[in-house]
Structure 1
Amino acid sequence: MPDIILNGPEGRLEGRYFHNQTPNAPIALMLHPHPQHGGTMNNKIVYTMFNSFKAMGFSVLRFNFRGVGRSQGSFADGEGELSDAASALDWLQSVNPNARQCWVSGFSFGAWISMQLLMRRPEIDGFVSIAPPANMFDFSFLAPCPSSGLVIQGDRDDVVPESAAAKLVDKLNAQKGIAIDYRIEQGAGHYFENHMEVIDSHIQDYVSQRLTAPVE
């Protein structure tokens, strides 16, 4: 998997990129969990998401937020990390100017950042959000939510209670034209130990359906 260095708002950003050679291949950006709690682009869930999109024919990028790994800068309370994500998406689009779809996917803190990016970038067609921390961060900016997507949540998550994720999903599903596919994984905690194959299955099932759905 090629190592890449991107130009970010605070200096270099370290990433891993897979390029699909198919003309007009769709693109997807992966965002990792909280940098101050050990989150990196090599997190198992982020790695699983990356490979799920790769298997479906996407060109895929995952990267380290500022201050993580070889990425320069320091943690900036989410605002800076959102800028990092926007820069990473800029790079991904520059390498794939004719991509037929654009997706964003995030885990925990990365899910919060990814959904903020969704609001800023109307070209994003869909999202995958795993354990969105609706009990810790404000998601009220999703008004209205610009795209439908998939939310995966463990029913034994002791970091993000399933009830918090369900409340967020209910609010989004109440919006006109938005359909959130909410999948609760039985027996899974926040880090989905021993549930990676199920995460991969959920992502490929949902996204492949969206890719082949007729455009309305």
Structure 2
Amino acid sequence: MDAKQTKVAIPCGSIFLEGVLHEPVGAARRPGVVVCHPHPMFGGDMTNSVVVSLVSALVGTGIVALRFNFRGTGRSGGMQTGGEREPEDVRAALSFLQEQPGVDAEKLGLAGYSFGAAMGLRVAAQDERVKAFVSVSLPYIEGSDGSDPISSATDDPAVLACTKPRLFIVGDRDQFAPLSSFRARLERFRPPYRIEVIPGADHFWLVRAGDAAEKAAEYMNEILLGTMV
């Protein structure tokens, strides 16, 4: 599907976040999804190949997608905080997306990869605007003391109480979320949620990133539009 790309500046408190809005060509108002990138302290940004694959798959099914750089990343203002204030960035991106004339503000979704999945999970659990959430390789460190806002996302009381539709995509070779312990961790979550295991993929998705993106887009269409693609 043809799409228009627009570089945007997203207001977030006293700073602006760098972003790119991807809009399928057409007059109809469409669902919108914010896509969050992996850890900026390890080189993650909105040009990450998994993020780009997610955006491409979403737009290909007729969904408006917004990718952005977290604070202190690329041309985004502010300083990186390792997960403490980055959820504010996610909420700002949602606010920007819902105001776009081509977006149906009642059909917003949130997706994230690795660090972006942890930040997105926290926001999705508390923000009523989010109707569906997709995680790709949510990082989880067994034995975490809870002080790390990334690996402790699955312990957040709001996350544990969440009853929104959620899809967790993970590779069966993920180094940061071993499948057996990851499944056990998610058993504490309230339904509805699904786990989609991609054989042969690890945390970095050097292979099968496209398969993960397709699963994410299919799920967003199913939940936000009530259709399968």
| Structure 2 counterpart of 1:148, from 165, 180, 188 | 165
Greater Cα offset, 128-137 or 97-106: 97-106
The aligned residue for residue 181 of structure 1 is 194
SS of corresponding position for 1:95: coil
User: Deviation at 1:192?
Assistant: 1.2
The aligned residue for residue 161 of structure 1 is 178
Distance (whole Å) between structure 2 residues aligned to residue 31 and residue 62 of structure 1:
6
Paired residues in the alignment total: 210
| Structure 2 counterpart of 1:50, from 41, 52, 55 | 55
| Structure 1 counterpart of 2:23, from 2, 19, 23 | 19
> What is the correspondence of 1:85-100 to structure 2 with a 5 Å cutoff?
85-96=90-101, 98-100=104-106
The aligned residue for residue 113 of structure 1 is 119
Question: Which one-letter code corresponds to 1:48 in the other structure?
Answer: S
Question: Which one-letter code corresponds to 1:63 in the other structure?
Answer: F
The aligned residue for residue 197 of structure 1 is 210
TM-score of the pair, normalised by structure 1: 0.89
Runs (5+) with no aligned partner, structure 1:
none
User: Deviation at 1:63?
Assistant: 0.2
Distance (whole Å) between structure 1 residues aligned to residue 58 and residue 27 of structure 2:
14
User: Deviation at 1:212?
Assistant: 4.4
Distance (whole Å) between structure 2 residues aligned to residue 12 and residue 133 of structure 1:
27
- Contact kept, 8 Å, 1:31 with 1:110, in 2: the verdict is yes
- Contact kept, 8 Å, 2:37 with 2:115, in 1: the verdict is yes
User: Deviation at 1:100?
Assistant: 4.2
| Structure 1 counterpart of 2:34, from 13, 29, 35 | 29
TM-score of the pair, normalised by structure 2: 0.85
User: Deviation at 1:109?
Assistant: 0.7
The percent identity for this pair of structures is 27
SS of corresponding position for 2:211: helix
User: Deviation at 1:10?
Assistant: 4.6
Runs of 4+ in 1 over 6 A off after TM superposition: none
Distance (whole Å) between structure 2 residues aligned to residue 89 and residue 186 of structure 1:
32
SS of corresponding position for 1:99: strand
Distance (whole Å) between structure 2 residues aligned to residue 163 and residue 8 of structure 1:
38
SS of corresponding position for 1:3: strand
Change (3 A) 1:39 1:164: farther
| Structure 2 counterpart of 1:137, from 120, 136, 152 | 152
Runs (5+) with no aligned partner, structure 2:
142-150
Change (3 A) 1:168 1:179: same
| Structure 1 counterpart of 2:44, from 39, 43, 52 | 39
| Structure 2 counterpart of 1:3, from 7, 30, 40 | 7
SS of corresponding position for 1:71: coil
The aligned residue for residue 71 of structure 2 is 66
Distance (whole Å) between structure 2 residues aligned to residue 150 and residue 22 of structure 1:
29
SS of corresponding position for 2:129: coil
Question: Which one-letter code corresponds to 1:111 in the other structure?
Answer: A
Change (3 A) 1:162 1:25: same
1 or 2, which has the higher strand percentage?
2
